[in-house]
Amino acid sequence: MAIRTSGGNSRISFRELTIETKERTPRAPVLHKGCHLAYEIQGAGPPAVFIQGVGVHGPAWVPQIDALAKNYQCLSFDNRGLGRSLPLGSRLSVEQMAEDTLALMDAQGWPTAHLIGHSMGGLIALHIALSARARVKSLSLLCSFPRGRDAARLTPGMIWTGFRTRIGTRAQRRRAFLEVVMPASALKASEKARLAADLEPLFGHDLADLPPVTIKQLSAMARYDATPRLHELAGLPTLVVSARHDRIARPEVGRAMAAAIPDARFVEIPDAAHGAHIQRSAFINALLMKHFE
C-alpha cells in the first residue's frame, strides 16, 4: 500500500485498491449525551452510514466512501470517546453508540439509510436494526459477529499476539498489530514498517499505540449479545462478509450469523483478514453496491 499526498488530495494504493481521496471539510459536530460527535459526509444520493470498530477512526472507511460516494451520500464518524468525538460524555455501551448513530442521522434529516458496520460497528448496526428497524434500508456486516464475546476468544495465538501489541519496541508493536488485521500473505518482512506507516492515516493513530478508549469499547462489546434476536431481522436485506484468515471475527461465526438471519447473504473472502475492507476494498465495494441496489 502507498499513500502520496499532493495539494489536499492523497492517492492510496494497495494491490487492487487505488483511490484518489478528496480533501474533506469536517461538519460541525453534533452534541449528543455530552459528546460532540465528529462526522463527515461525502457524495450525493441515498444515505449510507458507515460505522467503525474498536479503536479505529472514521477515515478508515475512505476505501469504501471514495468509491461509493459517486452514487450515495456517505456519512462516516468517530465513535464516542475516539478521535474528534470528545469527551466520552457517558458510560460506553453498544446501545449508546447505536443511539449516537441515529442522532447523526436525525441531524441530517435522514429517516432511513443503508447501514454498514465493521467489527464492533457491526454490533452497533445490528442493535439499530433490532431497536429501530424502520430506520434501516439495508444491513451490511463486515468482519463482524452477533456476540461481543465471540471476538475475544483467548486462543494461545491471540493471547501472544495481543501481548505483543502492548510490549516491546514501537516497531515490534506495529508488526504485531499488522498480524491481526492482515493475512500472512500480505506481510512481507521487509515491507511491514512501510505498511504500518501507510495504514496510520486510515486507522487514525500510530499502530504502536492503542487509543485510551479501546478498553472501554472492548468492555462494551463484550456485554452485548444479539444472537437470540437475529431471527427478528427476517425481511431486512442483509449482507454478511467474513475473511478466511480473520482471527477476531472468525468466518465460522459470520457464517452462523448469516444462517440465523433469514435470507441473509454470506460471502467469505479467501485471502484476507480483519482488515479486509482495506486490503480487498474493490471486491467489498462491488458487493456493497450490488447489495444496496
**Which pLDDT belongs to residue 180?**
86
User: What's the full length of the chain, in residues?
Assistant: 293
**Which pLDDT belongs to residue 158?**
57
Residue 11: which residues within 8 A CB-CB, separation 6 or more? 2, 3, 4, 5, 18, 19, 20, 21
What confidence category does residue 172 fall into, taking pLDDT thresholds of 50, 70 and 90? confident
**Which pLDDT belongs to residue 8?**
36
Q: Could you give the CA distance from residue 219 to residue 25 in angstroms, rounded to a whole number?
A: 32
Average pLDDT over residues 1-9: 32
Taking alpha carbons only, the member of 115, 38, 82 closest to residue 218 is 82
pTM for the model: 0.89
**Which pLDDT belongs to residue 12?**
40
Residue with cell 467489498: 284
Among the ranges 55-59, 113-117, 185-189, which has the highest mean pLDDT value? 113-117
What mean pLDDT is reported for the chain? 88
**Which pLDDT belongs to residue 153?**
67
Helix extents (H) in the chain? 62-68, 94-108, 120-131, 156-164, 170-181, 192-203, 214-222, 251-260, 276-279, 281-292
Q: Could you give the CA distance from residue 196 to residue 189 in angstroms, rounded to a whole number?
A: 12
**Which pLDDT belongs to residue 184?**
87
Q: Which of 26-30, 189-193, 220-224 has the lowest mean pLDDT?
A: 189-193
Q: What does the pLDDT look like over 115-169, one tens digit per residue?
A: 999 999 999 999 999 999 999 999 999 999 999 999 866 566 555 566 577 778 8
Q: What does the pLDDT look like over 271-286, one tens digit per residue?
A: 999 999 999 999 999 9
Taking alpha carbons only, the member of 185, 180, 184 closest to residue 248 is 180
Residue 17: which residues within 8 A CB-CB, separation 6 or more? 1, 63, 278, 279, 281, 282
**Which pLDDT belongs to residue 152?**
63
Q: What does the pLDDT look like over 56-104, one tens digit per residue?
A: 999 999 999 999 999 999 999 999 999 999 999 999 999 999 999 999 9
Which residues share a beta bridge with 77?
39
